[in-house]
Structure 1
């Protein structure tokens, strides 16, 4: 990787209304991705109000403080990179109110890799973050572009019927989805539909549907207050036992274990270096902020 991106820490943190982190600065980049709720980030005198899906980009040396305006949940990405890339990233805006679906997925994937800690997870995390940074820089250079949803590959764009089916799956994740109905939507026989779908997407229809549902389940586990049974029910699974078996098959661990790994206020050290704090957090959270 020519720009030597090195993520040293990822933190999922929940703050209650009025909790805050005092003004401070870092020698590394600190990106704050909002999962839910609202915070007020003040950076070098500029104030940014965060909401779900927003991204605050803080370069090294920028003094900032964070105040929670309700019950908020954020992912903090802390990293360093080459001098060349550092100068490029410094030109990005400090605040993006809503990043695209592709960026959302990359950020969440970084956290999931940190939680799962499978083989070479640190390398995957650095690669994913590097991809995110390149996308943000492209958008700065080229302006906003429409991004396809997850699973809408280049191949699938050659078949409008399959594109519409992928969109239908996204819209109906909270309901049971029958392959026969998707085939009927395309005007294909079920066998022919299965063949065309696999050619375009690379998975069977059932495998793709389950993959998207489990991805949605992980998203709900990450930022919602629903328990595992409620999440399974919300995604159209009538049996919690079937959902649990499927989740473990796709993710590698049981849903209850996954939830325990992503519990609130979870710091994960990816790389131990000079930026890694000795304690749980670099700056402690204070309980009340008098101006709220």
Structure 2
């Protein structure tokens, strides 16, 4: 998550205040600072006195550090007016297309503008790919011996096999797409499709227009999606199923949601190249429905009894299942063991209770069944990178 200038982490650099400085009363001087959006900073300001920054329009991030070491610079979203301590190195990054900020200091100031090597790169949250339009989507049911002699076009084409298996040739290379697997053909790629004798196949075809939005040399290109079969993945399966369901819903904004589902599918596929893929066994629709319903009831029970000491044995007894079955259910659907899920939920509840400011930290730890205040504080710090008391200060301060 991004840090703000009102956070505890910012206090070693300065503080925030609510009312603008009166130049007449303080005798301070001011200059207007105009800036357009850019990704890099190659110079830093260094004042020997206190500096105040008052945003007038737009949104900006403050990049600040105690030295010219680019690896030790920190970025903070500007929240309210900012007072910087003397001797810091800093600059602003325009997050919106342009900003205006007042830089206020004493009349007897002294500053330098120092070169930063290498330049500091600010990571703006921008899309790397954009699906502009879905040109067609079809559910195909093909019988034994079906042959499609092939085509190429200027668009992307996703083929997801729902049942059976599909043989395809892409630019002279043969692939087999099995049940719950998919493949993407790129613009200009000649591809054929056919069904082997004795088999049948049902598959989804989605044709779409996509562009890669390249902002820097690190951007990933769509070549990562091509010339490979993506094996079964539960998240992809869920997205495709939701896409098919939404395509027949006739509910307002269904088209927008279909675009979002397809874009998330493509992003998940790109991410899989960096985080690795899990080898998961496809499950039947009936089994998945049973697991979803059972998991929903278990999660509801945990949420209802979160203020009581919950044990794994108690859950297993209530829902008539073995400990190993419960572990598998959570691992496949929640990507974590049940004990960890319970602890994570307790910590999230504790955070909510701190925000409500009705109980002390010790009372919250006791109410949620933590063995001691020290254990609770350690677990909270590990999850949120600050102690409960520190978190409370940030809430009450803002």
Structure 2 partner of 1:34: 161
Give the drift of 1:178: 11
Equivalent residue for 1:47, pick from 174, 177, 184: 174
Distance verdict in 2 for CA 1:15–1:193, change over 3 Å: same
Give the drift of 1:117: 2.5
What SS does the corresponding residue of 2:213 show, helix, strand or coil? helix
> What TM-score, normalized by structure 2, do the two folds share?
0.38
1:173-201 per-residue CA deviation (whole Å, 9 max, x = no partner) reads 1899699xx77xx9xxxx9657248xxxx
Q: Give unmatched runs, 5+ long, in structure 1.
A: 150-168, 198-292
1:98 is aligned to 2:231: yes
Task: Identify the range of structure 1 (91-100 vs 34-43) with the bigger mean alpha-carbon deviation.
Answer: 91-100
1:76 is aligned to 2:195: no
Equivalent residue for 2:139, pick from 4, 7, 12: 12
Give the drift of 1:118: 1.1
- 8 A Cα contact 1:53 1:97, kept in partner: no
Structure 2 partner of 1:115: 248
Distance verdict in 2 for CA 1:171–1:27, change over 3 Å: closer
Measured on the aligned residues, the alpha-carbon RMSD in Å equals 3.6
Structure 2 partner of 1:25: 152
For this pair of structures, how many residues does the alignment match? 169
What SS does the corresponding residue of 2:290 show, helix, strand or coil? coil
- 8 A Cα contact 1:55 1:97, kept in partner: yes
2: CA distance between counterparts of 1:68 and 1:178? 37
1: CA distance between counterparts of 2:254 and 2:301? 38
Give the drift of 1:142: 2.8
- 8 A Cα contact 1:110 1:125, kept in partner: yes
Which has a greater percent of strand? 2
Distance verdict in 2 for CA 1:171–1:83, change over 3 Å: closer
Give structure 1 regions of 4+ aligned residues with deviation exceeding 4 angstroms. Answer: 169-172, 174-179, 191-194
Structure 2 partner of 1:195: 304
Equivalent residue for 1:137, pick from 244, 261, 270: 270
Distance verdict in 2 for CA 1:174–1:41, change over 3 Å: same
What SS does the corresponding residue of 1:105 show, helix, strand or coil? helix
Give the drift of 1:87: 7.2
> What TM-score, normalized by structure 1, do the two folds share?
0.50
Structure with the greater relative contact order (CA < 8 A, sep ≥ 6): 1 or 2?
Answer: 1
- 8 A Cα contact 1:11 1:77, kept in partner: yes
Which has a greater percent of helix? 1
- 8 A Cα contact 1:31 1:56, kept in partner: yes
2: CA distance between counterparts of 1:192 and 1:24? 53
**Larger Cα-atom Rg:** 2
